[in-house]
A and B are shown apart, each in its own frame.
Chain A
Amino acid sequence: MDTRFPSEKAYPFDSESSVGMKTEKIFSMQTLDQIFIIAKKIILGVTGHFLPDWACLLTSILISISAIAVLGPFTMMYLTLLERKVIGRMQNRIGPNRVGKWGLLQPFADGIKMLTKEDIVPLEADKVIHFLAPLFIVMPALLVFAVIPFGRNMTAVDLNVGLLFFIAVSSTTTIAIFMASWSSRNKFSLLGGMRSAAQMISYEIPMVLSVVPVIMMAGSLSTNSIVEAQSRWHGLKWFVFTPWGFLGFIIFFLCAVAECNRSPFDLPEGESEIVAGFHTEYSGMKFALFYMAEFMNSFTLSGLAVTLFLGGWQGPFLPSWIWFFLKTYALIFVMIWFRGTLPRVRVDQLMGLAWKFLLPLTLANLLVTGFWYFTSRPVRIAGSMVLLALAFWILTKLNRDVVPEKRVYHFAE
Chain B
Amino acid sequence: MGISLIAGVATVTLPNIFHATLSLVAALLGIAGIYLILHAEFLAVIQVLLYVGAVVTLIIFAIMLTEGISNKTIAQRNKLGPAAVGGAVVFLAALWGVIRSTPWPIQGGTSENSYATLASLAGSLLGDYIFPFEVISVILIAVLIGAIVIAKKDSV
Q: How far is the CB of B45 from chain A (nearest CB, A)?
A: 4
Q: List 6 A-B contacts (CB under 8 A).
A: A160-B41, A161-B42, A169-B48, A172-B48, A175-B22, A175-B25
| Distance, CA A56 to CA B122, complexed state (A) | 38
| A18 part of interface (Cβ distance < 8 Å) | no
Contact B61–A168 (Cβ < 8 Å): no
Q: How far is the CB of B144 from chain A (nearest CB, A)?
A: 11
Q: A160-B41, A160-B118 are in contact. Are A175 and B60 (CB under 8 A)?
A: yes
Nearest first, the 5 A-B pairs at minimum CB distance are A171-B53, A168-B49, A168-B48, A164-B45, A168-B45
Binds B, one of A42-50, A190-198, A232-240: A190-198
Size class of the A contact interface (CB-based, 8 Å): 20 to 34
Chain B residues in 8 Å Cβ range of A193: 64
Extra contacts, 18 of them, besides A161-B41, A165-B45, A178-B64 (Cβ < 8 A), are A129-B22, A160-B41, A161-B42, A161-B118, A164-B42, A164-B46, A168-B45, A168-B49, A169-B48, A174-B57, A175-B56, A175-B57, A179-B22, A182-B64, A194-B61, A197-B61, A197-B64, A198-B61
| A51 part of interface (Cβ distance < 8 Å) | no
Q: How far is the CB of B81 from chain A (nearest CB, A)?
A: 27
| A288 part of interface (Cβ distance < 8 Å) | no
Main secondary structure of the interface of A (DSSP, over half): helix
| Distance, CA A126 to CA B19, complexed state (A) | 10
Which residues in B have some Cβ–Cβ distance to A below 8 Å? 18-19, 22, 25, 41-42, 45-46, 48-49, 52-54, 56-57, 60-61, 64, 70-71, 118
Main secondary structure of the interface of B (DSSP, over half): helix
Instruction: Encode A190-214 as 1/0 by CB contact (under 8 A) with B.
Output: 1001100110110010000000000
Contact B45–A171 (Cβ < 8 Å): no
User: Among the listed B41, B53, B70, which residue makes an inter-chain contact with A182, where contact means beta carbons less than 8 Å apart?
Assistant: B70
Contact B60–A178 (Cβ < 8 Å): yes
Contact B118–A175 (Cβ < 8 Å): no
Instruction: Encode A90-123 as 1/0 by CB contact (under 8 A) with B.
Output: 0000000000000000000000000000000000
Q: How far is the CB of B21 from chain A (nearest CB, A)?
A: 9
Instruction: Encode A145-187 as 1/0 by CB contact (under 8 A) with B.
Output: 0000000000000011100110111011011001100100100
Which residues in A have some Cβ–Cβ distance to B below 8 Å? 126, 129, 159-161, 164-165, 167-169, 171-172, 174-175, 178-179, 182, 185, 190, 193-194, 197-198, 200-201, 204, 221
Chain A residues in 8 Å Cβ range of B22: 129, 175, 179
Q: A175-B60, A197-B60 are in contact. Are A164 and B49 (CB under 8 A)?
A: yes
Give the nearest-CB partner of A169 in chain B. B48
Chain A residues in 8 Å Cβ range of B70: 182
Contact A221–B57 (Cβ < 8 Å): no
Q: A160-B118, A182-B18, A221-B118 are in contact. Are A171 and B46 (CB under 8 A)?
A: no
Give the nearest-CB partner of A182 in chain B. B18
Chain A residues in 8 Å Cβ range of B71: 185
Contact A168–B64 (Cβ < 8 Å): no
Give the nearest-CB partner of A174 in chain B. B57
| Distance, CA A200 to CA B10, complexed state (A) | 28
Q: How far is the CB of B52 from chain A (nearest CB, A)?
A: 5
| Distance, CA A165 to CA B36, complexed state (A) | 12
Chain A residues in 8 Å Cβ range of B64: 178, 182, 190, 193-194, 197
Give the nearest-CB partner of B29 in chain A. A172
Contact B42–A197 (Cβ < 8 Å): no
| Distance, CA A161 to CA B49, complexed state (A) | 12
User: Among the listed B52, B60, B118, which residue makes an inter-chain contact with A171, where contact means beta carbons less than 8 Å apart?
Assistant: B52
Report which residue of A160, A161, A204 has the largest number of chain B beta carbons within 10 angstroms of its beta carbon: A161
| Distance, CA A201 to CA B60, complexed state (A) | 12
Q: How far is the CB of A253 from chain B (nearest CB, A)?
A: 21
Chain B residues in 8 Å Cβ range of A168: 45-46, 48-49, 52-53
